[in-house]
Structure 1
């Protein structure tokens, strides 16, 4: 937030956030705007984007944009970046937030089509985002990319394709961090645990599942989007300018025991 001296973490940084229309992405978008960023929020949910656009304008009037965007399509990434460069001339932050959990099935019960659907969104979408955006960041010799992974990439939670896809995101983050460092572009990841969003809302409504989440979490509560967004904004800001290839686990202690 703005201090008395006017300093803000993302002051006038151009911030692209995918999957920004709901849940975790929405909170990241609103906090980025509150911290002085110029937000480009993308999603496939048109109605939710319209709501977010109005919310962003209430936070600040910096020319925020909302755009329809299928992250698994290269042509969509090219269109988004073309519009950003034409309007702002630069991009400072990419938050690869969009993702899907898919069906909760064991490997042998997961169909090839379902596995491919999760991979195309979570892995291919993240790859295309980094691949497209780094070209602009390379030109300006600066930038920060934050990929959203999950603790499902660290421990077996019965989320077969999802866990595999988020493991790939972690690996890509490490590789890209080493590759992009020569352009002064940082790449980091956040690994949320059990966070209350639309993605797991139906699960949390089941008492047995809710209690299981609670039992697994040493801090004895389900996480919220307010627990994740500040870490993302920190990695987007210059406060983390010597951090790359790192992971911030936000899970209430699940993976600590």
Structure 2
């Protein structure tokens, strides 16, 4: 039997990269997926193609920093599928290495709004519907930047905040049989990082600092999300799953 048979999952930030990989894997494992992203046309390209193969993937334009946009996603998902079992808070932005002194208030608010406030709103709006069906699973895609420093003030703060929001929610919602966990990827090959890794010196640096000498493929993060969203992790909540090729083990 498929691992997510008849489950309904919302996956944010699904235009490409990790989000698209998660949405596609979940659909292959039997879930009815609502994929969301601001980049509607880009998301529709792969989601519609997957739908033609029989996978159940709906898609919706979504600004995760907006309360109204979140309400529309929840309302549309319920109208289409009747319930919500799984929430994957993946949407995020990464302004690379911007120091505290170089971070404008505008940039700070934008990064915190998307990377931290977005998951907070999504969790707040989805939890009552998970509670109504007897439980659920929330997976927050954080980063190793939520564990170690040196990745830019706003980004590190947002991902560290998401790590602790995850733990607080895990404690709060355990009684409702809602499990909340976070994933902390290291370097991942996505449309956002392709320009960086095309540089030979950047590839050499990655090989030098990562014990596995490479970046992850997006599907390798997706399999971590599948584990945390499914029954195989039924006694796992409040944990942080680091998927970084050993980068933070040094």
The TM-score range, normalised by the shorter chain, is over 0.9
Q: Counterpart in 2 of 1:3?
A: none
Note if contact 1:33-1:60 (Cα within 8 Å) is conserved in structure 2.
Answer: no
Does 2:222 correspond to 1:247?
A: no
Q: Counterpart in 2 of 1:10?
A: 4
TM superposition shift of 1:164: 1.1
Give unpaired runs (5+ residues) of structure 1: 1-6
TM superposition shift of 1:241: 1.1
TM superposition shift of 1:28: 0.6
Q: Counterpart in 1 of 2:22?
A: 28
Change (3 A) 1:32 1:77: same
* SS of alignment partner, residue 29 of structure 1: helix
Q: Partners in 1 of 2:51 and 2:118 — Cα distance? A: 28
Q: Counterpart in 2 of 1:114?
A: 107
TM superposition shift of 1:214: 1.9
Q: Partners in 1 of 2:108 and 2:35 — Cα distance? A: 27
Give unpaired runs (5+ residues) of structure 2: none
**What is the Cα-based RMSD across aligned positions, in Å?**
1.3
Q: Deviations over 1:36-64 (max 9, x none)?
A: 111100001121121122232144343x3
Q: Counterpart in 1 of 2:43?
A: 49
TM-score (norm 2): 0.96
Note if contact 1:72-1:124 (Cα within 8 Å) is conserved in structure 2.
Answer: yes
TM superposition shift of 1:158: 3.3
Superposed, 1:60-79 pairs within 5 Å as 60-62=54-56, 64-79=57-72
Aligned length: 250
Note if contact 1:30-1:55 (Cα within 8 Å) is conserved in structure 2.
Answer: no
Change (3 A) 1:191 1:102: same
Q: Which portions of structure 1, spanning 4 or more consecutive aligned residues, are displaced by more than 3 angstroms?
A: none
Superposed, 1:105-254 pairs within 5 Å as 105-254=98-247
TM-score (norm 1): 0.94
Q: Partners in 2 of 1:90 and 1:37 — Cα distance? A: 12
Q: Partners in 2 of 1:103 and 1:213 — Cα distance? A: 15
